[in-house]
Amino acid sequence: MPEKNLPETAVSDVELRGVTVRFGRHTAVDDLSFTLHRGECTILLGLNGAGKSTTMRVLTGLLAPDAGTVRLFGADPLSQSIVARRSFGYLPEEGILDGQLTLREHLELVGALHRMSQHARRERSAMLVERLSLSGVLDRPVGGYSRGFRQRASLAVVLLHDPAFVILDEPVTGLDPEQQTAFHELIREMARDRVMLLSTHLLSEARQLADRVLVLASGRCTYDGPMADDERLRTALIGEGA
């Protein structure tokens, strides 16, 4: 596999320092700090409304924090958005695909947006389509895909430019157990040489995937470490952790 898409000035992996996000009087993320590293799968664990999706939007530059800083391999996703966006692939919970386009059209479009040569994007597309078993639906509009095919197709689009940082927001929601298992295997494989951040509200999913767990409760980090016993994590999930 080719070298990951990193900025030439990369000096670190992914850093988030003292980030606070407010929506009116509501504080969605409260003085949050962490660093993510290549080679580990970090699970952002929290109940609905804990601040997981907001944190991911800040990391991608889609949302400016009210306080704090973010660096993706040394680049600020707000002031250096073009450089930063080359380094990550982001799959939000609501999805990224246009139901009227085929997967082939999505891949061609995204490859062009990332300024990949025609040869590079077709070679990379062919590899991902084969790896994700998508050849049978490549030329069908994605609006007719099942949930499992849609998630795999979304992942192909996210991975097309070979990002070093992959961000997946609740990616297995709605998948059946067999599809979840296959998706988890792929996530573990990808985490070997990437920064991998995956959000979930399910302890069972975190237990299967996590090298490291970051628990959010009311926008604050209440646990940061290896997978712990369920009682400790449940306490952290309701905001009583240390």
Residue 151 in domain: yes
Residue 1 in domain: no
Residue that the structure tokens 């990437």 belong to:
194
Residue 217 in domain: yes
For residues 41 and 33, give the distance between their C-alpha atoms in angstroms, rounded to a whole number: 17
Residue 242 in domain: no
Identify the pLDDT of residue 24.
95
The per-residue pLDDT of the chain, averaged, comes to 90
pLDDT at 8 over 60: no
Residue 102 in domain: yes
CATH code assigned at 104: 3.40.50.300
Residue 139 in domain: yes
Identify the pLDDT of residue 12.
56
What contacts 19, CB < 8 A, 6 or more positions away?
29, 31, 32, 33, 55, 58, 65, 67, 68, 69, 70
Residue 3 in domain: no
- Domain membership of residue 183 as a residue range: 14-237
**Range with the lowest mean pLDDT among 64-68, 113-117, 128-132, 188-192?**
188-192
- pLDDT category of residue 215 using cuts at 50, 70 and 90: very high
pLDDT digits (tens, 9 = 90+) for 107-128: 999 999 999 999 999 999 999 9
Q: What's the total number of domains in the chain?
A: 1
Residue 64 in domain: yes
Identify the pLDDT of residue 199.
94
- pTM of the complete model: 0.88
